[in-house]
Structure formats: C-alpha cells, structure tokens
Chain A
Amino acid sequence: MALTGLDIYKLLPKTNCKECGFATCLAFAMALAQKKVSLDKCPSITAQAKEALESAAQPPVKLVTIGAGDKKIEIGNETVIYRHEQKFYHQAAIGLLIEDSSAQDRIDKAIAEIKGLEFERVGQKIAVNLICVRNSSGVKDKFVSTVKKVAAGSDLCIALDSIDAAAALEAARSIRGRRPLVICRNMKILPEFVKAAREENLPLAVSASTLEEAAQATDIAKRSGVDEIIINLDGNGLAKTIQDFTYARRAALKKNFRALGYPFLAFTSQAEPHLELAEAVSYVLKYAGIVIMKNRDKDFIFPLLVARQDIYQDPQKPVQVEPKIYEVGKVTKDSPVAVTTNFSITYFTVAAEVESSKVPTYIVVCDSEGMSVLTAWAAEKFTAEQIADTLKKSGIEGIVSHKKIIIPGYVSVLSGKLEEVSGWKVSVGPREASGIPNYLRNWK
C-alpha cells in the first residue's frame, strides 16, 4: 500500500533545511510519493522513519521463491482479496507428503506416482509442484537419505519437515542447489532454524497456531536476517484456517501489516480423501500459497489442479482457442459443420457435447476476441459477415461436400443475413450446448 505525500511528510524532520534540493519538506514528501526522488537526499531522516518508508515501498505480501530452475515455485506478491478486483498472481503450490518412516519401496512408488501428476488442460500444463519430506522416523540419517532419494528421483521443489534443525540443515546441504523450503515446527526451536536458513540462504516456513504467534515468529525470523518467510498455520483444522488466511490477507493488504505479509502454507487435516480434497480446494481458493496433501490419487489431484487453474485465471483476459477448423470424431466429407466462438469455455463446452453425440462434426471457430456467443453477438464480434468471412478463409468449403452450416440457437437472428452473404444454407442449432447431442443425431 503506497503512502501519500502527506503520510510521508509526517515522517520527515519538517525543518525545511533545503538540503534535499526542495524548498520545503512537504515538497520533498510529494516528490517521494511520486517516486521522483530518493529518500537518501534527506540528511536528517531518522532510522524509524526510514524503516517505515522503506517498508511502505515493499509489496504487501512478500514474494517467496522455493527451489531453482524451471520448476521453482514463486508465491506471494498478491494484491487483492477478491479476484474481480484485479487477479490472483502466483498460483498456490500443491505439495505431497512423503514420510521417511515409510518402507523404501513405498517411497520409490510415491516418487514415481508423483511424477505422473502432470496434466494438460485447455492448452496449459498443470502439475503438482512440491514434495514435502517429513522426518517421521525421528532419525537424522534416515531423513537425509530420504531427502536425497526424493531429490534424485524428482525434479520438483522440496520441503524439509523435521523438528531437528541439525537434520534439516544436513538434508538441505545434501541437496544444495535445489533450494528447499525448511519448515520450522516449533517456536522454541526457531532460532536454530533461522540460523540454518540463513546459512544456506533458504526460504523458511515458521509454524504458529494463531495469527498473533505467526506475526511474532515472522518478526523474529526477519530480524534475524531471514528474508524469505512462509507462515504455516498449524493444527487448527479447515474451518479456522480459512478464516485466518482471509484475515491475514486483509491485514497485509489493507493495513500494510508486515508481519503477516507473507505467503501461507497449510497441511491438510482431513483423513478421508474426499474431505481432504474439499479442504485442499478451500485453501487454494482462500489465499494459501502452498497446500500439502497426503493423498496422491490422480482422480483427486486433477480436480484440485483444475480448481487452481480456474481461480488463478485473469478475469480481464478470457482464455481463447485458436480460430480454425476443429475435427471432432472421424469426420468425412458428409459430416455436419457447426460454428461457434473462440472463447475457450464456449469451444470446449461445444466440443464436449459434440463428442458425446458420437456424430463426427467439424467445428469452425470464429475469432470473437474470446467472447461467448451472446456476448460476442451483442458486441458485434460474431456477425453474419464475420462468420461468412471465417467460413471462406477456413477452407471448409473444399473439405465437405455440402454447404450446410449450423449456428448457435442464441444467434438465430443471423440466419437470413448469413445465408445471403455466405451462400451457405443455415440451420439453427440448440441454444444450450446440452441440446447438441440430440440435435446432431437428427441432423440431415
């Protein structure tokens, strides 16, 4: 949250000494607010004022990087409570838990399965991001060897979850270069973890059960020189955690409250897989920076990843598909031709229904600038002329042996004009995509 000129003025010495080159402190404050001048120009600024001003210039939620290279995670730096205000910037990382007390073959299996949790959807790759190794065995060597095994078998980011700072430090050193996240589970041992994180320049997650404790912990970590901090709200369960995430985000954004201005981490608490999924989805929707799950069944992880993809979509920029001819099923020259817009959801909805009709069909997608059918029509991005032009340029005429085109039911008013300008015979399809299977089965 940026400070106004007047806010800054209050922090200045108000001596009007002119050393900064401005006639008055107020003029200097105004220039500072517009970022036209540096604070260093003021010779008599106090340390507190300097800190307050510098902190105001920082983003309200700290950007934290875990890992290195292609698969590194960047979380934080968020600017809004509600996505319609702007957008959510840095997707929550999804992590999976591996316990070092598990049998070797089960650990190998887990690593292999986690590798498969990568999907493509609406032209984007979606995947889990992190493996959290937990020192459930309590044995340092076991922890270090498991971490090494995970690092060797997976290129995902790694989180180290041990109550033994020495074990965490040794594990971190054993995979130097991977820049793992170190999780400190307990305030009492925070100084040791802070030391380890600082030595290896690693991001550190502090754990707390209340926001007050969390603020205290981040303050200690920051003052001790750790820069990249994450807050793990521990052990409060789903209901309390989503509330705290919301209050913390508000405090960071609206009050510029630094001690809570960090990304948040949550471990799922529900044991039943469906409820664990529901819990993880809730955290993703409500401001978590990292969610760590136990269940790695892809039937559960895939919907979670799609929910994340949805909610981090930029509300101002609809996702579009390429305007061209799409073939659904084993099309022939006698297959029906349908036309729709290039808003990805419109296209994928239509394509799914065409597919379920089992009638092979060509879908000609017009460039409607990412608008849905009705919106595009209202905005004159889906007119008879534009459809006729798309048909012509697509070359569909040379592909099918007929000249019959199906248009969405919502734009039935275009029929006459479209026949006139395109020379194609127009039939009006259903208004809702759900009517497509029935319609296509009866199409002649």
Chain B
Amino acid sequence: MNTEGSTIAVELNGIEKRFPGVIANHDVTLIVRSGTIHAIVGENGAGKSTLMNTLYGMHQPDAGTITVNGVEQHFKSPSDAIAVGIGMVHQHFMLADNFTVLENIILGAEPTHLGVLSIGDARKRITEIAAASGTHVDLDALVSDLGVGQRQRVEILKVLFRGARILILDEPTAVLVPQEVDELFTTLRHLVDDGATIIFISHKLDEVLAVSDEITVIRDGTTVTTVLPRDVNRATLGELMVGAELPSPEGRESQVGTTVLLKVQGLTVGSGGQRKTVDDVSFAVHQAEIVGIAGVEGNGQFELCEAILGLTAISAGSVEIGEHDVTSSSTRERKSVGVSYIPFDRHREGLMLTSPLWENTLLGREGEPRFVRGPLVNTAEAHRDCNEIIDRFDVMTPSEIVPVFALSGGNQQKLLVGRELSNNPKILIAAHPTRGVDIGAQAAIWAELRRARDEGLAVVLISADLDELIGLSDTILVMYDGRITATLDPATATPKMLGTFMTGGKQEVA
C-alpha cells in the first residue's frame, strides 16, 4: 500500500482525443505507480474507455504523450502496447467456447518449436503464472462449462501469458456477483504483490474504495482529480464523479394492488434432450407492483422474458395477462392487451440504429389507431408523438429526425423506455432498464418507473444492479439455472444475500 516514492509505470500527459459523436478526452493527466491498483472512476460516457483504448493502442491520441516505465511510447496498435507489457481484460470476454482453457490462453500467442505447437511448454508456463498470481482454474476444462468468474480468470491468465505487467481491467466486476468480486480482488492483490500494476476501471464506488491504492476521477472527458481512498468516502467520491449529488433508487411507499395483472404458471422452455432454460417458473405480479428478478446472466431470465412476450416456444405452462390466457397468442396480440418490453440489448432487440428517432418510437405501435390513416402511416402524428416522448423523458437530441446512432447510449435508452411507457401499458417487462446509461438518465428512468408503478403498472424488473433491484422492487425473486430459487423481501435483503442465492445457494423454506 506504499504509494510514496515508488516508480511510475504509466504516465499520461495532456492526452486529447477527438471523436465525432462521443465525448472525447481532453487534457487528461494520469500517473500510475508501479505495483499499485489504480482505479479510474467515472460515469458511463465520461471517457474512461476512450482513454484506456488510447493507452492500449486501439487508437492514437490527437495530442499528449504516453510514457510507460519512463520511456515515451507511440502505439500504432495493441500489439505495440502488448510488446511493452500492457494487457487489457475486456468487459466482454473474448473466448472461444468450444476450446479448453489452455487452448484459449495460448490462442494467438502459441508457443511453437520448429513450427509445431509445444503444448507441454505452454502448460508449464501457465501453471507457473497461475501459481504466482493465485488464480486457480482447470486448464483442461472447456470454456463453455465455466462460470463467469472463472472465465474472467482465464482472460486474466491470457493477458499474463502474453507477458503483461500492466493490466487494464475494464469494468471487471460488472458481470460478477459479490462473492466473485471478493475472489477477483484477492487475485488482484496477489498480482500486485507479485509486482504487477493494475488499472481498474469502474463506476462502482464501494468496490473502488475497497480495492484501490489510488483513485483518479474522470468526468466529461477529462481527469478531475486523483485521490487516496482514505481521504474520501462514497458520497464525496460520487460527487466528484457526477459533479452533483448521487441519486438513489430508494425512498418510496408503495401500494401494491390486489388485482393480479400477470400470472405465470409452470412456465418451461426447452424439453426432451434440450436443457431446460426456464424450468417450471411460477409467479404473479399485481397492480402497482414491481417484482424484481435477480440472477447471474444466462440463468434463464432472457428466455423467461421471451416466453412471457411470446417470442419463444414454451414446452409447458401458461401465461395470463389480466383476464386473458395468452399462452397461445402472438407477440402482437400480447402487446395489444397491454404488455410493454424494455429488452436486454437495446441495439439488437430494441432499436433500428440507422432509422430516425420517430420511426423508432413508432416501431411496434404502428397499428395503434392514432398512427393510422387508412392503410398509410400518419407520419405527422408519429412525429408529434416522438416529440412528446423526447420532452417527457428528457431525451437530448436536436430533433426527431436524426438517426438513433447519433444519440448517446443513455439517451437511446430513455427513448426506448419512453416508447414502451407511452402507450400506458398494464404490464412492463423491464430488462436492465438502466444498463449503460449515465447517472442523470438513470435517475430519470427510475423516476418514470416509479411513477408508472404508482399509477398501477405491474413491472417485472430484471437487473444485474443489485442496489437497483433492492431499491425498486416490492418483491425479489432469484433465478438460478432456470428456476426461481428464492423469494425475498427487499426490506431485509442485502446484495450479499442475493449473491449467495444467485450462485446456487438454497433458501430454507419458512
């Protein structure tokens, strides 16, 4: 933890990077000491990733210098950065599922002897590296059989195998449950003790305070300040990061209604030889109720939503919306009786990126009487409606005719949430409604969800942000391996508790 007097591993000076459409970096100054964990915190879109991509050689800065271990560097590509010992662990894993751990680690940097793979050498080296860094993973396991935490370890080993001594970890905890986060931090400490330097990018303040030796705050594309964790707390760090007070998902009194609006019974997806992705799931959502679903990604939440929406075939069970049994209805029929959906991936499932905003807000609602003029689309009304959504949800855009790709992620999400809430649905399935959005947009989306709920909306909320789940939900269900494995009261639930159930812990039946 001794940060004084140690040598400097990375120094960025006056870095400037201009990009059309995104907040670029300007006047960025960063000093990372050797053998420390240096956190970089900032909101989504503050420019953290741009900066790290600069350091990793993904693109060249327009101005400023990069100095690594005392030598000024001009990276043309990531391979230049790798050559001087910089490695990057991406937020989204880049692993080949049907390869073993060992194969994945050496992929792209295969040690050969006279043109023949020398697996034996590779195994020996990886075992040494793993032992030195305190990472334990079965080298012969198939990556497809590994959990998220283990996959991340493989990514780290991959980077170490290429000789990295300076590791950049981009939002490494975003996909982990609390227990896995602890394990990751242990690994990081091991690495640092072994002499490595770690640059840790995050926007989760508690984690940053817990693990880092120094913290640099980045806001609106520039470095605001560098602080020591002992000099700040969560609130002050948050204020530095946002430039204002942090919003919180909590604080409300809800009146859960008595009418059941959504009833799912014995829902099962996948049968016979297939793995059951959703296995005998039953729950009900009442009027003015938010039911949160916690779970590590890939435990059936996606398939559950698709099944409720009628987007995937079910093998058993039923879905009832209000009085209607919609088990065999089409997606459009379900939507027309009042189901809205904020999908998991807004780019893939939600928006048409190259189409103008107004066509995007019209999508899925083009059959509503107000948007129809005979067989034609009532374009004027669609424009008017889009402008209403823009105003009501504070979508920052010059007009409704710009294509969606020109907006920031947060504004795209607000537009999407606006579309799904604007036709006064009875039921909203909201998957990660605030994923990848800035704090301002997050607060706005939370407020809209709460308001809609108070007006009687029944919400199924799926989120990886456990604070969001606990803060907004009236009931929390935990989904593990396709089943509902726990039902919790958010008043008493803690992220740690959720983490236990999310990784397969059992709830004693009361």
A joins B in a complex: no
- Which residues on B are within 8 Å of A, measured CB to CB? none
- Which residues on A are within 8 Å of B, measured CB to CB? none
